């Protein structure tokens, strides 16, 4: 079971020591031990705004639980609290409480920016907590959001022409929730009641008149509108009229807080716990604790080296660790299931191959589930090679088990016959008929024995061949038989031997055909799974692009309503590019063809013999020519 299940108190995940961010190995170990999907809620905001209190409530602690000395009065770095999600089974809620922003004593404001960047990149819901109201001053203080484009790099190489940064960022960025403590205003606009969400949208309206004193606030508005299309707001009244309790609010029992405040907090917690989504990356890549920990390591490494986190590099680094793990997980499942389901020796090769097909299909499904960004299907090909090798090993084990068992049984059945040969029992007139009778009895008893496996006939044939010289000697020295009878007997022995050889040869041909059919089934299953994954990935990308387009169209509509026609028109190019991409994804299938052909060729070369390998080579050549 994950260590996170037993977390009773938060732990520092990212330490902020003298302005340098460092990972806490123990906290990272807890995080990476989580194999379930994670829902990550990060809380950021200015100092002394009650962020830790919100984290405590989201963690579901009872009203009388006190954080005590676990978290200092001012959180430093990023603290983590992992608990089972109260309503979503098989999910873990990861809460991240960040260091208070805007501390002038820290000196370097860039340190705050990195804290915010990490909180945004790690979370699926980002909560920004402030005091009193969302006004020009509150927005002007959000320089950390305004600097996001400078502190996060989208791609390793320069961005593609026509692709706006916000389009890529939205695929990585979390949902945005602004919470306002000690709210001092009425939720009204033009004399009419409004919701807290409407209050936020009104506060994010851009200024029509350009005043220098509103410039920073407007930049913050643009950033939130651009990068966080899904956003909500919650306002909280003053928790208590007793000022002496405000300094230690997180330790104050609920019964001493104002009823309205408690109700507002309950509504906030209900929304977060019911609406916060599992953490995913662009393209629908699902994130568990292990993957989140790997991403965090990549981001902190980049920051510590003086670079900025690169989203593409983080995903590729994650793929380089997760895809080999997916191969290992799939291969391990195959081996475990084969060992569990195959009762050696099987009566026929087909019995084994049927189980192999079932276990291979399960293994491939596991790989497809846990792998992503498998460029050129490198890791899928590695898995196929491993499974083919493992299959051959099980076939060999099956044959060995059958051979040894049959040899042992024939050794026991023929013991009396060999003793009689040694004693010369058959070296008398009529001895050959006695020998034949003994041999036939051994063969009959052997045939009646169950579970001999697929090597039963081959082992019997070798056993009879081992007796051939002795049998011929007994036949030739049997004075009770005439020369003609001996000659006829020799011919009969040859015919029997030829018939058994023919039977063995036919069995080998049948087994070869069964192996080829199994390889064909495997090839078809691989291609079907690959096609399905391509379609699913394409669908996820398509849905993501449609959501981004929808948010852009809504934003454009808002700008028009706000009288900002020029800014609305500036969005046309971005919208047109998105529409073209969506149309291309919906209509174009040819781009997937080279990849499918190349993978099919590789699979054929790995799995098929002779002409199959040549055909696979031709497919790969065709794929290369089509991709040019």
DSSP per position, 283-321: TTEE-BHHHHHHHHHHHHHHHHTT---BHHHHHHHHHHH
427-472 pLDDT, tens per residue? Answer: 889 888 999 999 999 999 999 999 999 999 999 989 999 998 998 8
Taking a C-beta distance cutoff of 8 angstroms, is the pair 303, 34 a contact?
A: no
Peptide bond into 333 cis (omega under 30): no
What is the pLDDT averaged over residues 124-137? 91
pTM listed for this prediction: 0.79
CB atoms within 10 A of CB 18: 7
Identify the band that residue 27 occupies on the pLDDT scale cut at 50, 70 and 90.
very high
Q: What pLDDT band is residue 109 in, cutting at 50, 70 and 90?
A: low
The arrangement of secondary structure in 11-309, i.e. its CATH architecture, is 3-Layer(aba) Sandwich (3.40)
Distance CA 313, CA 373 (A): 12
Query: Partners of 192 in the beta sheet?
Result: 189
Average pLDDT over residues 178-194: 88
| Interval 112-118 mean pLDDT | 88
DSSP conformational letter for 159? P
d(CA 547, CA 282): 12
Terminal alpha carbon distance of the chain: 50
pLDDT for the residue numbered 427: 87
Pick 470 or 501 by higher pLDDT. Answer: 470
Report helix, strand or coil for 1. coil
Average pLDDT of the chain is 83
What's the pLDDT at 231?
93
Residues in the chain: 628
CA distance 227 to 120: 11
Answer yes or no: are the C-beta atoms of 146 and 216 closer than 8 Å: yes
Region of 277 (left: φ > 0; alpha: ψ -120 to 50; beta: rest) is: beta
Read off the pLDDT of each residue in 288-296 and give the average, rounded to a whole number. Answer: 94
Superfamily for 318-535? Guanylate-binding protein, C-terminal domain (1.20.1000.10)
Is the pLDDT higher at 243 or at 346? Answer: 346
Confidence (pLDDT) at 400: 95
Spell out the residues 6+ positions from residue 402 whose beta carbon is closer than 8 angstroms to its own.
Answer: 344, 345, 452, 453, 454, 455, 456, 459
Cβ contact 115:62 at 8 Å: no
pLDDT score of 67: 44
Encoding tokens for residue 300?
A: 């902190």
Q: What is the pLDDT of residue 174?
A: 92
Going by pLDDT thresholds of 50, 70 and 90, the confidence category of residue 243 is confident
Structural domain spans, the chain:
11-309, 318-535, 536-627
- Please state, in angstroms and as integers, the Cα–Cα distance from residue 484 to each residue in 181, 475, 492, following that order: 115, 12, 12
**Mean pLDDT, rounded, for 253-281:** 90
Helical pair 378-413 and 483-561, crossing angle rounded to 10 deg: 150
**349 touches 395 (CB < 8 A):** yes
- Tell the residue number behind the tokens 């020369």, with chain if given: 483
Phi-psi group of 610: left, alpha or beta (phi > 0 → left; psi -120 to 50 → alpha; rest → beta): left
* Other C-beta atoms lying within 10 Å of the C-beta of residue 39: 23
Q: Is the pLDDT reported for residue 541 higher than 70?
A: yes
Residue 307 tokens read as: 């670079």
pLDDT at site 70: 44
Query: Of 430, 335, 428, which is closest to residue 389 (Cα–Cα)?
Result: 335
């Amino acid at each position: 079971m994950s260590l996170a299940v037993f977390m009773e108190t938060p732990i520092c995940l990212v330490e902020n020591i003298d302005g340098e961010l460092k990972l806490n190995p123990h906290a990272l170990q807890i995080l990476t031990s989580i194999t379930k999907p994670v829902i990550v809620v990060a809380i950021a905001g200015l100092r002394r705004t009650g962020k830790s209190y919100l984290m405590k409530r989201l963690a579901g602690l009872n009203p009388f639980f006190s954080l005590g000395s676990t978290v200092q009065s001012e959180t430093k770095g990023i603290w983590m609290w992992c608990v089972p999600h109260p309503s979503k089974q098989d999910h873990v809620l990861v809460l991240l409480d960040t260091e208070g922003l805007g501390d002038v004593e820290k000196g370097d404001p860039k340190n705050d920016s990195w804290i915010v960047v990490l909180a945004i990149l790690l979370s699926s819901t980002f909560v920004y907590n402030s005091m009193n109201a969302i006004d020009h001053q509150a927005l002007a203080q959000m320089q950390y959001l305004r600097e996001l484009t400078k502190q996060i790099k989208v791609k390793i190489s320069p961005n593609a022409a026509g692709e706006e940064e916000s389009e890529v960022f939205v695929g990585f960025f979390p949902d945005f929730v602004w919470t306002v403590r000690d709210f001092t205003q009425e939720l009204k606009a033009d004399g009419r009641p409004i919701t807290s969400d409407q209050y936020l949208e009104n506060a994010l309206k851009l200024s029509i008149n350009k005043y220098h004193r509103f410039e920073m606030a407007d930049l913050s508005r643009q950033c939130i509108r651009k990068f966080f299309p899904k956003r909500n707001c919650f306002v909280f009244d003053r928790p208590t009229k007793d000022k002496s309790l405000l300094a230690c609010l997180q330790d104050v029992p609920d019964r001493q807080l104002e009823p309205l405040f408690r109700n507002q907090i309950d509504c906030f917690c209900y929304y977060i716990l019911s609406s916060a989504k599992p953490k995913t990356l662009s393209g629908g890549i699902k994130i568990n604790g292990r993957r989140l920990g790997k991403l965090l390591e990549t981001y902190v490494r980049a920051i510590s080296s003086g670079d900025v986190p690169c989203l593409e590099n983080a995903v590729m680094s994650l793929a380089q660790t997760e895809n080999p793990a997916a191969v290992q997980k799939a291969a391990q499942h195959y081996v475990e299931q084969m060992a569990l389901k195959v009762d050696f020796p099987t009566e026929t090769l087909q019995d084994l191959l049927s189980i192999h097909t079932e276990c291979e299909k399960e293994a491939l499904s596991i790989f497809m589930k846990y792998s992503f960004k498998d460029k050129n299907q490198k890791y899928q090909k590695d898995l196929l090679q491993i499974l083919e090798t493992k299959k051959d090993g099980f076939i060999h084990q099956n044959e060995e088990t059958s051979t040894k068992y049959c040899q042992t049984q024939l050794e026991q059945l023929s013991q009396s016959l060999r003793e009689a040969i040694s004693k010369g029992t058959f070296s008398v007139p009529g001895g050959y008929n006695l020998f034949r009778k003994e041999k036939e009895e051994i063969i009959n008893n052997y045939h009646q024995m169950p579970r001999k496996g697929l090597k039963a006939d081959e082992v019997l044939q070798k056993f009879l061949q081992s007796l051939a010289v002795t049998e011929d000697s007994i036949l030739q020295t049997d004075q009770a038989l005439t020369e003609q009878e001996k000659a006829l007997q020799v011919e009969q022995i040859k015919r029997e031997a030829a018939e058994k050889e023919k039977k063995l040869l036919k069995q080998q041909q049948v087994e070869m055909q069964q192996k080829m059919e199994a390889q064909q089934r495997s090839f078809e299953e691989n291609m079907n799974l690959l096609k399905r994954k391509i379609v699913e990935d394409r669908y996820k990308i398509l849905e993501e692009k449609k959501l981004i387009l929808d948010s852009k169209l809504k934003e454009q509509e808002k700008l028009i309503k706000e009288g900002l026609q020029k800014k609305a028109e500036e969005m046309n190019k971005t919208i047109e590019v998105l529409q073209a991409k969506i149309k291309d994804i919906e209509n174009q299938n040819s781009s997937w063809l080279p990849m499918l052909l190349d993978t099919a060729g590789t699979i054929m070369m790995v799995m098929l013999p002779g002409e199959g390998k040549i055909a696979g080579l031709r497919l790969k050549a065709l794929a290369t020519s089509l991709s040019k």
